[in-house]
Every structure is written in structure tokens, then in C-alpha cells.
Structure 1
């Protein structure tokens, strides 16, 4: 893990810096020649290599539709910048003794995707190093331990943080889980162990925690939505809502909300934050028993301090 995450002009910027044991001219060919890019870049590239030149990306695995980009900066053999999938990529090469210092940045809008992007580029840049060491054939991208590395980036970048909107009394978390919805949904609802839950039933245990008393299920759509009331003094006070969006190569996007809160609910924020960490670990085969109470207390203090700082 050597990526850092920044915010510049309201957009998220991932930055990698690597020293490559090859001269600048060789690295330049590897990052601009479509035949060499095929070994390390996550798409097949057809490119008019000039400022303003069009780029076409195709994905042999069929997990995404073809798309187009543009060369936005070209200063051989120092700077190559392009657009890809609605984002901007920039590669800056600097001589470093007999080798090259590469600074690679990815500028994008969808911050919850930062863990996925960082893990992906970490893998791709490793493949670039193997390409330079050559000779090689085919793609060298091998996303080993992807989920573990992804979740480590989520923690390092603070992507597990929740927010509280006082005006609406709503807690909100949004994060990517590096697993398909067909795996996330059964883990959330325990449909592999019993019949699918129905409206009016108690919510499945993985969707609840002891800090937020649960009522009954109010809405359910397989692999998309699980909603239930939560209770205050035994009466419905608001709703907890798990929304899943799958069908993405990076996994499943989860938006978790709790409505009907007042004040600064540091304990509820901490509980849901812990729950999402526990759930992500569970999906990777890591089980927490009992509930990590110390982690919840640590996070409650964190959210209380954050509220005081505002």
C-alpha cells in the first residue's frame, strides 16, 4: 500500500509514487505504447497519441462497455495525461539515477470508490514493473488478496466514516464492499440459513446491532433493499435502511441510513461504523465474536470529538 488520497478543487485525487529500475525512455514506451499497455493497463487501448487525440477503451472480460477518452497532456518523455472512464489519469516521469521516478495520479468524483481504485492501480502498477522487466505475454494484472487490500485502503483513507445531518436527523454511511451483491445479500439477510425475511418479520441479525433497538421489516427487495423500524422506548422512532447497488466490477455499493435521530448521536454512528467493519470482515471470512465493544467505544469517542470540533 503506497497510495495517498487527497482532495483538490472538490475532487478526489489518488497519488502513487514509485521508483522503477529502468530509464525514462523505456518507461515512457511502456506507459504510452498500446501493445505494452495491454500488459498492465485495465483496458485494451487504441489511441491517437497527440494532444487532443481520441482514445478508445475496450474490456475483453466483458465486465464493462467500451468507452472513449482523450489525450489531455503530452510532453515526451516526461508527462502523459489522459481521460478514462470519466476521470483523469496523469503519469509524470523523472530521471532518478539509472532509473525513473513515476508519479501516477487519478482524479475522480466518486470518493467511495477510492479503495477500489487504489487497490486496482496498486495491482496495475505492479504489473507495469513486471512489464518493464519483460519479456511478457498477455495481461499481467493479478488482483491477489483484493478484498483484504481493498478494506485496508478503506480504513487508511477513512472511507468508513459516517455523517449526521442534523436538519433531517439522519445518519448516513456509504461504502463499497468488494464482493458481488449475490454474495452480500445472503450474508446480510441470512437467506442461506433460513427462509427469506418478509415484511413484518424481525430484521435479520446481521442488519442490526444492540445499540439501535430493531422493530419490524417495512420494505425488502432482494439484493437491493432492506428497511425496518428502529425503536425508542419501545415505539417506532425512525427507520434503518440498507440499500445495495450491485452489477459493478468493483463489487457492491452499500448506503446505510438511520432516520429519526436528534442531537449528536455519537454512539449510533460508532455502532453502525463498527457493524460495517464487522460485516466487511465477515465477507472475507473473518468472524468477530463477541462484538468488538472496545472498537465501538473508540469510535464513539472519535465521533463525539468530531462533533465538538464543528
Structure 2
């Protein structure tokens, strides 16, 4: 089975930062727009609260240059569990593509644990009944310009927290 077909994808990265700083980078809109593909995510961390990610200006311009109009909200879902700064569990759906938007909500878990010299961040993305989303977040289409999925996002987050700069700078 290839990673693009996996119904559960697990990514783990070690970051020279405190769990609290990683938590802020994941949950604060002033951080979420700075790494990965950008986009401001506003969370109300109350279980049952809805959330949405709005595309960054750079993302909107890049999509428009390729003839694609992005929706006002590109990712949505619901907070299932929030235990700062240790664990965040969400339902998660990508809305940038009509086929992905039609798939079931997926389940996304962030686990942050102290580790020697920093913290370990584990992302578990359960993608049952969402094959198109599973392919996209696996990064399998990176060579085609479709992005590097979770591996890229987490590498960019690590770079930002450790150096103050994202990979593309």
C-alpha cells in the first residue's frame, strides 16, 4: 500500500521549541499564516466549536494565476478535543477542490510531547472515505507542483520555530 492510499497517515518531527510554542504555532492565526501553504486559521478551542482556514493573499494570487478561484474558506472542521499544549483533535475537510470538499470529514490529531532539547510533534491524519484528500496530504504530487503535504508543512513549521525563517525564504 502506498502512502497516498493509506487511510491513516502518521508524521513525527522533533522541534527545538517548547510544547507551548508549538501549540501557539498550530492554534494562533498570526502563526498559521506564516508556514506551510499559509492561511489564517481561527480556533475557538471549545469542543464542538467550528473552525475555518482562509487562504493567504499569496495563495489567492497563485491560484488565480493558474486560473483557479479559491473559496473564502479552504479548510473547515470542528474541534473535538483541546488539551493545551499537549493535544488537539479536529474533524478536517479541504474545500479547495470540489471533489475533496465532497469527501467525508477526516480526523486530524496533533500530539505534542516534551523531548530532549525540545518537543516531539506527531500528526495523525485519519483519512477513511477521503481518498483524494489522502493523496493530497501525502505529498505524492509534489513533483507536479501540487505541494508536499504534511511532510512539507511540518518541515516548514520546524524551520520557522527553530530559525525564524520558512524554507522558501
TM-score normalized by the length of structure 1: 0.39
Higher strand proportion: 1
Aligned counterpart, 1:17:
12
Provide Cα deviations, 1:121-179, integer angstroms capped at 9, x if missing partner. Answer: 1111111012212434xxx475xxxxxxxxxxxxxxxxxxxxxxxxxxxxxxxxxxxxx
Secondary structure, in 3 states, of the residue corresponding to 1:48?
A: coil
Select the residue among 135, 153, 158 that pairs with 2:164: 135
Aligned counterpart, 2:51:
55
Q: State the alpha-carbon separation in 2 of the partners of residues 4 and 101 from structure 1.
A: 22
Aligned counterpart, 2:34:
39
- 8 Å CA contact 1:81, 1:88 repeated in 2: yes
Aligned counterpart, 1:301:
none
Within 5 A, what are the aligned runs for 1:61-72? 61-62=59-60, 63-65=69-71, 66=73, 67-72=75-80
Secondary structure, in 3 states, of the residue corresponding to 2:126?
A: strand
Shift of 1:56: 1.8
Q: State the alpha-carbon separation in 2 of the partners of residues 54 and 34 from structure 1.
A: 15
Aligned counterpart, 1:116:
136
Shift of 1:50: 2.1
Provide Cα deviations, 1:198-254, integer angstroms capped at 9, x if missing partner. Answer: xxxxxxxxxxxxxxxxxxxxxxxxxxxxxxxxxxxxxxxxxxxxxxxxxxxxxxxxx
Within 5 A, what are the aligned runs for 1:130-169? 130-136=159-165, 140=166, 142=168
The number of aligned residues is 133
Structure 2: runs of 5+ lacking an equivalent: 61-68, 94-104, 140-148
| Structure-2 change in CA distance of 1:104 and 1:76 (3 Å) | same
Q: State the alpha-carbon separation in 1 of the partners of residues 111 and 5 from structure 2.
A: 17
Structure 1: runs of 5+ lacking an equivalent: 143-310
| Structure-2 change in CA distance of 1:118 and 1:141 (3 Å) | farther
2:103 aligned with 1:79, yes or no?
no
What is the CA RMSD across the aligned residues, in angstroms?
2.5
Q: State the alpha-carbon separation in 2 of the partners of residues 134 and 23 from structure 1.
A: 14
Q: Give the number of the structure whose alpha-carbon radius of gyration is greater.
A: 1
Secondary structure, in 3 states, of the residue corresponding to 2:34?
A: coil
2:47 aligned with 1:28, yes or no?
no
Q: State the alpha-carbon separation in 1 of the partners of residues 5 and 19 from structure 2.
A: 27
| Structure-2 change in CA distance of 1:103 and 1:5 (3 Å) | farther
